[in-house]
Amino acid sequence: MMILTNPQTENADARRTAGSVSAIEMRGVTKTFGEVIANNNVNLDIRYGEVLSLLGENGSGKTTLMNMLSGIYFPDAGEILVGGKPVTIRSPKDAFELGIGMIHQHFKLVDVFTAAENIVLGLKEEGRYDKKEVARRVREICAKYGFDIDPDQKVYTMTVSQKQTLEIVKVLYRGAEILILDEPTAVLTLQETEKLFSVIRNMRADGKAVVIITHKLNEVLAVSDRVSILRHGEYIDTVNTKDATEESLTEMMVGKKVELNIARDDIPDKKKRLSVEHLSVTSPEGVKILDDISFEAYSGEILGIAGISGCGQKELLESIAGLQKTEDGASVVYSDPEDEQDKQLIGTNPKQIRKLGIHLSFVPEDRLGMGLVGSMGMTDNMMLKNYSDGKSLFLDRKQPKELAERILKELEVVTPGINTPVRRLSGGNVQKVLVGREIAAAPTVLMTAYAVRGLDINTSYTIYNLLNEQKKSGVAVIYVGEDLDVLLELCDRIMVLCGGKITGIVDGRTARKEEVGALMVKKV
Partner 1 sequence: MNSLISLLQAAIYFGTVIMFGSLGEILTEKSGNLNLGVPGIMYLGAISSLTGAFFYERAAENPNPVVCVLIAFICAFLASALGGLIYSFLTITLRANQNVTGLALTIFGSGVGNFFGGSLNKLAGGVGQISVSATSAAFRANIPALANLGTVGDVLFSYGFLVYFAIAAAIVMQWFLKRTRVGLNLRAVGENPATADAAGINVTLYKYLSTCIGSGIVGLGGLYYVMDYTKGTWANDGTIEGLGWLAVALVIFTTWKPANAIWGAYLFGVLYWMNYYIPGLTRYSQELFKMLPYLITIIVLVITSLRKKKEDQPPANLGLAYFREER
* Sole binder of partner 1 in the list 17, 85, 90, 125 (CB under 8 A): 125
Which of these ranges, 37-45, 120-128, 451-459, 494-502, lies near partner 1 under the rule CB under 8 A? 120-128
Interface with partner 1, residue 423, by CB under 8 A: no
| Sheet strand arrangement including 331-335 | 288-298, 272-282, 331-335, 342-344
Binding-site residue total for partner 1 (CB under 8 A)? 22
382 contact partners, CB below 8 Å, separation of at least 6: 400, 401, 403, 404, 407, 437, 440
Q: Cβ 158 to partner 1, closest distance in Å?
A: 12
Contacts with partner 1 in 78-107 (CB under 8 A)? 91-93, 96, 104
Contact assessment for residue 524 and residue 504, using Cβ atoms and an 8 Å cutoff: no
Which of these ranges, 111-119, 250-258, 276-284, 323-331, lies near partner 1 under the rule CB under 8 A? 111-119
* Sole binder of partner 1 in the list 37, 123, 160, 333 (CB under 8 A): 123
Interface with partner 1, residue 129, by CB under 8 A: yes
512 contact partners, CB below 8 Å, separation of at least 6: 257
C-alpha to C-alpha distances, 193 to 160, 175, 222, 307, nearest whole angstrom? 12, 24, 11, 21
Interface with partner 1, residue 112, by CB under 8 A: yes
Query: Given the complex with partner 1, which of 6 and 280 has the nearer CB atom?
Result: 6
Query: Given the complex with partner 1, which of 102 and 494 has the nearer CB atom?
Result: 102
Query: Given the complex with partner 1, which of 31 and 273 has the nearer CB atom?
Result: 31
Q: Are strands 178-182 and 493-498 parallel, antiparallel or unpaired?
A: unpaired
Tell me how far apart the alpha carbons of residues 470 and 464 are, in angstroms, rounded to a whole number. 10
Three-state secondary-structure class, residue 5: helix
* Sole binder of partner 1 in the list 77, 110, 263, 384 (CB under 8 A): 110
Interface with partner 1, residue 122, by CB under 8 A: yes
Contacts with partner 1 in 36-75 (CB under 8 A)? 72
N residues, the chain: 524
Nearest CA to 502 out of 248, 285, 316, 378 is that of 316
Tell me how far apart the alpha carbons of residues 76 and 410 are, in angstroms, rounded to a whole number. 37
Query: Given the complex with partner 1, which of 108 and 355 has the nearer CB atom?
Result: 108
Distance of CA 238 to the CA centre of its chain: 23
Is 389 exposed, middle or buried, given 0-12, 13-18 or 19+ CB atoms closer than 10 A?
exposed
Distance of CA 305 to the CA centre of its chain: 15
* Sole binder of partner 1 in the list 50, 57, 117, 485 (CB under 8 A): 117
Interface with partner 1, residue 219, by CB under 8 A: no
Interface with partner 1, residue 4, by CB under 8 A: no
Q: Cβ 361 to partner 1, closest distance in Å?
A: 28
Query: Given the complex with partner 1, which of 112 and 190 has the nearer CB atom?
Result: 112
Interface with partner 1, residue 111, by CB under 8 A: yes
Query: Given the complex with partner 1, which of 113 and 295 has the nearer CB atom?
Result: 113
Tell me how far apart the alpha carbons of residues 158 and 394 are, in angstroms, rounded to a whole number. 51
Q: Cβ 121 to partner 1, closest distance in Å?
A: 5
* Sole binder of partner 1 in the list 42, 55, 109, 297 (CB under 8 A): 109
The DSSP letter of residue 73 is S
Q: Cβ 63 to partner 1, closest distance in Å?
A: 11
Interface with partner 1, residue 113, by CB under 8 A: yes
Contact assessment for residue 321 and residue 478, using Cβ atoms and an 8 Å cutoff: no
Query: Given the complex with partner 1, which of 123 and 260 has the nearer CB atom?
Result: 123
Q: Cβ 106 to partner 1, closest distance in Å?
A: 9
Contact assessment for residue 297 and residue 274, using Cβ atoms and an 8 Å cutoff: yes
Cα of first residue to Cα of last residue in the chain, in angstroms, is 46
Interface with partner 1, residue 369, by CB under 8 A: no
The DSSP letter of residue 367 is I
State the binding string over 142-161 for partner 1 (x if CB under 8 A, else -): ------------x-x-----
Which of these ranges, 38-46, 108-116, 212-220, 393-401, lies near partner 1 under the rule CB under 8 A? 108-116
Q: For 83-139, where are the E strands, in sequence order?
A: 85-86, 100-103
Q: In the Cβ-directed half-sphere of 206, how many Cα atoms lie within 13 Å?
A: 18
Using CB under 8 A, list all residues that contact partner 1.
Answer: 72, 91-93, 96, 104, 108-113, 117, 120-125, 129, 154, 156
